[in-house]
Structure 1
Amino acid sequence: MSSGLKISPQLRQKIDRELDLREKILWIGQPAPSLMILTGGTLAIALFAVPWTAFSVFWMWAALGFQLPNLSRGFQPQYLFAMFGLPFFLIGIGMLLSPFWSWRQAFQTVYIITNQRAITFEGAGKTTIRSYYPQQFNNLYRKEGNNGIGDVIIAAETTRDSDGDRQRRELGFFNIRDPREVEAILKKLVQEKR
Structure 2
Amino acid sequence: MQPLKHKDTTLSSLSNLPQALQDRVRSELKSGESVMWAGQPNPNRFMRSGFKIWFFFIPWTAFSLFWIAGAAGFEMPHFDSGWSLFPLFGLPFLLVGIGGLSAPLWLRRRARFTVYVLTNRRAISIDGAKTITVKSYPASEIAGIERVERQDGSGDLILRTEYYRDSDGDRQTRQHGFFSIDEVRSVENLVEALLRNKQAPSQH
Q: Give the TM-score normalised by structure 2.
A: 0.77
Contact 2:46–2:179 under 8 Å retained in 1: no
- The one-letter code matched in structure 1 to 2:45 is L
Contact 2:15–2:22 under 8 Å retained in 1: no
Number of positions where the alignment pairs a residue of Structure 1 with one of Structure 2: 186
- Within 5 Å, give how 1:86-125 maps onto structure 2: 86-125=91-130
Deviation above 6 Å: which 4+ runs of structure 1? none
SS at match of 1:162: coil
- The one-letter code matched in structure 1 to 2:185 is R
Contact 2:159–2:177 under 8 Å retained in 1: yes
Q: Out of 14, 18, 29, which is 1:19 matched to?
A: 29
Percent identity of paired positions between Structure 1 and Structure 2: 42
Unaligned runs of 5+ in 1: none
Question: 1:70-104 CA distances to partner (integer Å, 9 max, x unpaired)?
Answer: 46xxx323421121121121112111111112222
Q: Out of 55, 58, 65, which is 1:57 matched to?
A: 65
Q: CA deviation at 1:160?
A: 2.5
Separation in 1, partners of 2:172, 2:140:
23
2:34 paired with 1:29 = no
- The one-letter code matched in structure 1 to 2:86 is F
C-alpha change, 1:159 and 1:66, in structure 2 (3 Å) is closer
- The one-letter code matched in structure 2 to 1:95 is G
In structure 1, the residue matched to 2:147 is 142
Question: 1:95-131 CA distances to partner (integer Å, 9 max, x unpaired)?
Answer: 1111112222222221101122211112233322222
Q: CA deviation at 1:6?
A: 5.2
Q: CA deviation at 1:178?
A: 0.7
SS at match of 1:173: strand
Unaligned runs of 5+ in 2: 1-13
Contact 1:50–1:92 under 8 Å retained in 2: yes
Contact 2:155–2:183 under 8 Å retained in 1: yes
Separation in 2, partners of 1:82, 1:90:
14
Q: CA deviation at 1:189?
A: 1.9
Contact 1:47–1:96 under 8 Å retained in 2: no
Q: Give the TM-score normalised by structure 1.
A: 0.81
- Within 5 Å, give how 1:61-76 maps onto structure 2: 61-70=69-78, 75-76=80-81
Contact 1:31–1:174 under 8 Å retained in 2: yes
SS at match of 2:160: strand
- Within 5 Å, give how 1:157-172 maps onto structure 2: 157-172=162-177
C-alpha change, 1:60 and 1:28, in structure 2 (3 Å) is same
